[in-house]
Amino acid sequence: MRRYWEERSPPSMFGGSLLLRLICGIGMLVIVSMLIVRMGEPDRWRWLAGDDGQPPKKQSAPPPPIPEATGPTHEDPDQAETAREEFQAMTDGSLKPRREEMEPYYRLVFWVKNQPFERLRRLARRDLLYTNFHDEPDKYRGELVTMDLDVRRVLEAGEGRDGDKLKEIWGFTSESWGHPYVAIVVDCPEDMPVGPSVREKATFAGYFLKLQGYLPAESKPGDPIEKAPLLIGRIQWKPVVAPPADRSLEWIWGLALFVVIGLVLAARFLYLRLKPRRKAFLPNTTTSPSGEVISIDSWLEQTNLNADEDGSNVADDGRRRGEKDLDEQ
């Protein structure tokens, strides 16, 4: 007898109340995780630091005294007078320094060598701009200045008279509008990157010498020579440090994780709820030996009738054989 299969849905995996509790539990976990991440930010606890929500201000200590120089500088009258006489031989805009320009060059290197960076920075002017040097170089020649540089090139610049290695640094400031400064640096940090293309930050303090002529990389034959202020001094290198990781979005990732978990559970629940289950059952009809489709009930009744007839035939045969035996006797 053939069997047929009927698709039937299984009973629900979760009852209505149990599913509601599961969803509420996941929602509470999400809320608690968000609170933990948000409360881990220092700004959330600043109100404990002071009455106005800001940490109590400490009284600023007086600045330390300016370090002393170890030798002659621009502050010595004789040195200053000699330098003014040497500056008269300077030529602005030349591509290479001339021989008569080397004396004031080495004098400024000597002054820088006798002073630490902090002394140069504390004594330097901060109000001079690129246009001041470019438009009036004679007026500001030998002036001690400081500036913040975006360094783009660091090259070897030979040695001073005492054998100290010098570096040539090219960079920009926020007010130079893409026009470079070139600085001859004494005692450049050893671990500072060196090359024709770098991206570093440094604070410079030193003396202005002249306008150095140069040809831009995209210049063509016959183009005019550009000019960059040439300074001699020291730098304070500011290594680029990777910014700290932004934790303000961590709670979003936590929320996304719990949402994914909730979706997986919901998908699993729906899959088990909607997955059909097979159930075996007997058909209501069958096929007779002659090929006629008849119902099961009719087939059973016919089978019972055939069985009764077979039983009657057997009984009749037994009775006939008994009668025959009696006649033979």
Name the residue ranges covered by the structural domains of the chain. Answer: 1-46+253-302, 77-238
- CB within 8 Å of 72: residues ≥ 6 apart: 78, 79, 110, 111, 114
DSSP 8-state class, residue 284: S
The confidence score (pLDDT) of residue 165 equals: 92
pLDDT at 1: 45
Question: Under the phi-then-psi rule, with left for phi > 0, alpha for psi from -120 to 50, and beta for the rest, what region is 163?
Answer: left
> What crossing angle do the helices spanning 102-113 and 77-87 adopt, rounded to 10°?
150
246-262 residue pLDDT tens: 666 665 666 677 677 77
- Residue 260: per-residue pLDDT: 76
**CA–CA separation, 145 and 173 (whole Å):** 13
Quote the radius of gyration of the chain (alpha carbons, Å).
50
Instruction: Give CA–CA dist 30/251, Å, rounded.
Output: 9
- Residue 69 has, within 13 A of its CA and on its CB side, a CA count of 16
pTM for the model stands at 0.61
Dihedral sign, CA of 72, 212, 101, 87?
negative
* pLDDT given at position 121: 96
- Those residues of the chain that have pLDDT short of 70 are 1-21, 38, 40-59, 242-255, 258, 268-329
Neighbours of 76 (CB within 10 A): 14
**CATH fold for the domain made of 77-238:** OB fold (Dihydrolipoamide Acetyltransferase, E2P) (2.40.50)
pLDDT of residue 220: 86
Model confidence over 213-235: pLDDT tens digits? 999 888 888 889 999 999 999 99
Q: Pick left, alpha or beta for residue 178 (phi over 0 → left; psi -120 to 50 → alpha; otherwise beta).
A: left
Q: What is the DSSP string of 225-265?
A: PEEEEEEEEEEEEE---PPPP--TTHHHHHHHHHHHHHHHH
| Dist CA 233 CA 115 (whole Å) | 9
